[in-house]
Structure formats: structure tokens, C-alpha cells
Chains A and B, each alone.
Chain A
Amino acid sequence: MKLISLSALFFVIFLGVLFIYVAEDIPDFGDPYSAPNRYVNLSISMDAAEGEDNLNKGVIPESLMDKIEERRLPLPSRVEPIKEGEWDAIIVPEEAEQDFYPKEQKYYLIKKEGAKLWVYRYAPIIRYIEEGEKETEVPNMVTYILADYRGYDTLGETSVIFTAGVAVILLLRRREKRPEAR
């Protein structure tokens, strides 16, 4: 009995250590590959004095492109100013003739903070919110995300409901229709 409780204690400690080891690798808030916000900081920056004029002309500064390429992120094709000190960097895909592929994607936000320009990555949901009505002709955001962009999810949900109904039939349906079973 003592052996069992000792091994149980050891097992709990082992699981705790394993959890701490795994939890170390959970990314911090603001990781470039998670999207909890409207946009997340990619921690790519450059001096505002050099880059600002180029950005206003519609050219992305070379050093910024190099830093983006270094991180193996997709390169933006052009830049559009939104307001004072903020620019959208847009990716234009090459296969533009494919209808199901997004034609242009607002991908990075370049923002001036103090004397530096910081690069942010837009969350994918931003495109659904801003372009959804244009792309689907449906004004209800819930419906077009549920039934179109997240169509696979909804198909799964429907089959879950179907399975629940079949399970209730199997468990509770009356059996008087089968007199030969007696």
C-alpha cells in the first residue's frame, strides 16, 4: 500500500514537472503566430526618420523588407497610408485569377510610435469583418462567418446534433414494433 502511494506521489510530481516544462514553451501574449487582438506586434522596427518619407510615397523601406524576410514572413507588395503615422501593408497574391483565393490582403500595420516605426500583423478575423459583406453579399456577420468562412465547423456541429438524435433513438425508442423479438 505504501508503495502505491509513493509511486502515485512520484507520478504526480512527474506530471507537474512535465506541465512546467511544457508551459515554458507556451508563447507570451503578443506572439506573432497567435491572433488574440486586432493586430499583434511583430517586434520588427526601424527609425522613423528614414522610413516615413518612403512610406508616404508608397515604397516600403529596404531595411524593413529585409527584417521581414529574415523572419520568413510573407513580403508586402504595397503600402497605403491610413492616417497620420499609420500605414497598411498589403499583399497582392500572384494567382489573382483564382476566384477563391483572397485577391488582396491587408497584412501588416506599420505604426509610428515615438521615434520608431513598428510592424504589426493584422489578425485574420479583420478580413472577415471588413471584407465579408462585400465578398458574400450577406449583411449578417454571424451568418456569413458561420455558414461560409467556417462552413466545415458548422457541418461538424450539424453532424453532432444528428448523432445526438440517433443516440436518443437507440436508447429510448419504444419497442412495440418488434413483437417477434419475444
Chain B
Amino acid sequence: MNTEKSEIGKGRGGDVIVETVARLMVPFIQLFALYVIIHGAGGPGGGFQGGVIFGASFILLVIAFGIVKAGDRFPEAVNTAFFSLGVYIYAGVGLLCIILSLGVAQYLNYGFIPLTAHFEENRALGMDLVEIGIGITVMAVITSIFFNLVWKREESEEEGGGGEEVQE
């Protein structure tokens, strides 16, 4: 299909079968990752597992399309912001418990977030929020580690063992 476009990826990709299969599978992998994160309360799953699956979908993108095209789709500045966003959600939910209960509850006691009328259901919903936070952080970190490793490799291949210019 888009063999010409994928030439930007410096020889990586360019195979019609790989690109088409990746393009078809990535949305389903991401949907499954969201399912695993949200389903953590009801069955096997949770933030760590779902985040890793979500990160794996971006790794598949890089393998199929090359780092440049995949990097355009998921810019690293946004990724770095996601790093801390997940931890902020987690810590923020914990702090919200203290604030909304006017100092009665402990940190991370989700029952005091008034989402529903029942203490127990509040705890379940608080747990879901926390799992989402974990998922975002894990996804961003997995993706970022892979992107950084691949960029480094690609750079040195391109410049012929480059990195000499950046002496400080």
C-alpha cells in the first residue's frame, strides 16, 4: 500500500503484509488493553498488565512502520507528560480522600470520595481510578524506553557511529 511513505522509515517496514496486519491489529490491541485495565476490578487484569499491553501496541507500530512514522503518531513530548500524569492521578486520588472528607479519612481511603451513596462502591470506583493512573504510567514508560533505545540505534546507523558531534 503505502510503500513510498514508509521509505521515510529508512528501510524498515515497506512490507505490505506487515503494514496491513499491524494497521488492522493495533486498534484491537489497544481496545483489549483498555478492557484489561477497566476489567481489573471484575476479573483478571489491572493497571500494570493493561499498561504493558498498550505499550506493546506502540512497539508493534514501530516494528511495522519504522520509528519516524510511529514517532509522529505518538510524539515523545506527550509521552513524557503521560509519565507523570499517571502518578499524579494516583497520588491525587489519595489526596482527594483527605480533602473531600475534611481531614477525617486517611490517605488513599477511597470510601470517602462521594461518587455514589455507598461507602463500599466508592472504594470500588476509587480503585478503578487508581488502576487507570497505573496503566497510563506503565504504558508511557514502556513506550518511552523502547523509543529511546530505537532512536539511539537508528541515529548511530545513520551517521556511521555518530554521536561525535555532540561532544560536550
Contacts and interface: CB of A to CB of B under 8 A. Distances in A.
B134 A148 contact: no
A182 B111 contact: no
Nearest to A181: B168
B7 interface: no
A148 to B, nearest CB: 6
A162 B148 contact: no
Contacts of A9: none
Contacts of A162: 83-84, 86-87, 137, 141
Contact of A152 (B86, B108, B110, B131): B108
Q: Interface of chain A, helix or strand or loop or mixed?
A: helix
Interface string A73-99: 000000000000000000000000001
B91 interface: yes
Interface size on A, as a range, is 35 or more
A49 interface: no
Interface in B98-135: 105-112, 118-121, 123-124, 126-127, 130-131, 133-134
Interface of A: 99-100, 134-140, 142-144, 146-148, 151-152, 154-155, 158-159, 161-162, 164-166, 168-169, 172-176, 181-182
